[in-house]
Structure formats: C-alpha cells, structure tokens
Amino acid sequence: MWQRFHERHADKPGFALVGVAIDALPDGAREFTEQSGCTFPMALDSRNLLNAVLGVKTVTNAFLLDEEGRLRWQHLHGFRVARPEMLAMVERVVEGDLEEFVANPGVVQESLEVESLRAELADRPDDPDYLLMLAEALGLEGRDEEALATYSRVIELRPTDSTAHYATGSLLIAAGRTDEAIAAWQSGLEIDPMNFTLRKQIWMVQFPEKFYPEIDMRFQVEQIKKEGFPDLSKLPISIRRELGDHAADDLTADV
C-alpha cells in the first residue's frame, strides 16, 4: 500500500516518503525490503533509537517533518494507510494542508486490535475474556499502566483464574518492579497452587543461579517439596513429567 502511495505522489514538490525498519538484524530488514519491492528509501533502526527519541514501542507509526527537519505531527500506534480516514489525512498533508497538524502536533491513535476490543467492550464492559485480550494488547504496545489496570479488573471479575496474575507479574518484572511481580505471582498461586509455571517464575527471580546457565532440576524437586508437596506422587502427572528423572528417582526411593 505504501509503495502505491509513493508511486502516486513521488513527483509532488517537497514530498518524500521514507520508511524506517526497526530490526536488530540488518539482513532480515534488507531481505524484507527487497521482497516487498518498495522503491522509496528505507532506513534501518537497529538500536531502537526511535523508542528512545520518539517513544515508538510498536509499529506502525507515522511522523511528519517539514523541509527544515522539524517534527510537525506524529501518529503513534496502529497507523494504517489502508484505513480510509488515515489515507485521506496523509493525502491532505501531501497537498500542503498542514494547518491542523501544526496546531495538533501529537496524536496517539489506538491500534486496530485495541480499537476493535474497545468496540466489543462497549456492549459488554465487564466481559473478562475481552478485558484479558485488551490487557494483553495494551501490554504489547508498551502501555503498561493501562494494561496493569485492565488485568486488575479481570482479577476482580474472575478471582479464581490465575491467568491475569501471571500476566501482571510478567509486566511488573519487565518494568523492574520485582517485589510487586513476585507478589502478583504468589497471589496467583494462592488460587491455583498446582500452577507449576507460576512457581517457576518466582524461583527464576529468587534463585537465578538455579536456572542460568543450566537448569537445576534437582533444585526444583527439592523446592516444590519444601513448598508443601513432600509426596510427589500426589502431584499432577504433567508436573511430574516436567520434573523428569529427578521426580522419578524420588518416587522410586519412596516405594
């Protein structure tokens, strides 16, 4: 779509379309560009500088710079030139209609996914499934506080489901809020004590040396016994399988 837009407006005075690929691997970005057949310039941001400078946490985004290189307008998250209203807006820019953009230099647009989920929630504001999907989408866009608030609402509506607890902890740990993350995971364990994945998240934070550079399975067997499961035979078969031979050794020794 951008290639067609470029071809349609390439001869317009003062207009240039430049794409930016955010990719740590230059070869991958180059291959994608070649396969797409685009003929407009493509720059590579392999150090995620757009995030540091402009707050870009997800694609796609649009930025309007004037001939002096000044940022006149930005549209963060979910910019799709295929959407009629966005295409019409860019067409106005190309034709030189900049007044509204000078007056309103910053716009944060919902991504299509978030926008569609909010539309669904308009008719069912307390649907925990849609709220969970919305929280996940917000988290992927780097909108952590909104995501955390939404996960909190899911927990209120569905207190016996540990899914939102796990996701809350994951967001918090990524933000460096370790104590809060562990507390969230522990809350999940209180309602779902057989959730071995939650336990391992806590262990990996508290005992990183038991997981990196190698995983100490013996430690996990001993730890789960300390946490209230001395009889491994009473654990679900899925957990015993994950613990592997070390759990089997314990079961054999108890016979």
What are 85-132's pLDDT values in tens digits? Answer: 778 877 877 776 666 555 444 545 567 788 789 888 988 999 999 999
Q: Name the pTM for this structure.
A: 0.57
Q: What pLDDT sits at residue 209?
A: 93
Name the one residue in this structure whose structure tokens are 């999907």.
133
Q: What is the C-alpha to C-alpha distance for residues 7 and 69, in angstroms, rounded to an integer?
A: 23
β-pairing, 71-76 with 62-65?
antiparallel
Query: Do 133 and 120 meet the contact criterion of CB atoms below 8 Å apart?
Result: no
At a CB cut-off of 8 Å and minimum separation 6, what does 145 contact? none
pLDDT tens string, the chain, 255 residues long: the values are 788 888 888 888 878 889 888 877 777 778 878 888 888 888 888 777 777 667 777 777 888 877 777 777 777 777 777 778 778 877 877 776 666 555 444 545 567 788 789 888 988 999 999 999 999 989 888 889 999 999 999 999 999 989 999 999 999 998 899 999 999 999 999 999 888 889 989 999 999 998 888 888 888 888 888 888 767 676 667 677 766 655 545 544 443
What are 146-164's pLDDT values in tens digits? Answer: 999 999 999 999 999 899 9
Q: What is the C-alpha to C-alpha distance for residues 8 and 109, in angstroms, rounded to an integer?
A: 25
Q: What pLDDT sits at residue 35?
A: 83
Q: What pLDDT sits at residue 25?
A: 72
Name the one residue in this structure whose structure tokens are 């030189």.
96
Q: CA angle 187-191-198, nearest 5°?
A: 60
Residue 242 sits at φ, ψ, to 5 deg, of: -65, -35
Inter-CA distances, 219 with 5, 226, 252, 254, Å: 59, 10, 18, 18
Bridge partners of 106? 74
Instruction: Report all structural domains of the chain as residue ranges with CATH numbers, in order of start.
Output: 2-108 (3.40.30.10), 111-206 (1.25.40.10), 209-255 (no CATH)
Q: What pLDDT sits at residue 251?
A: 42
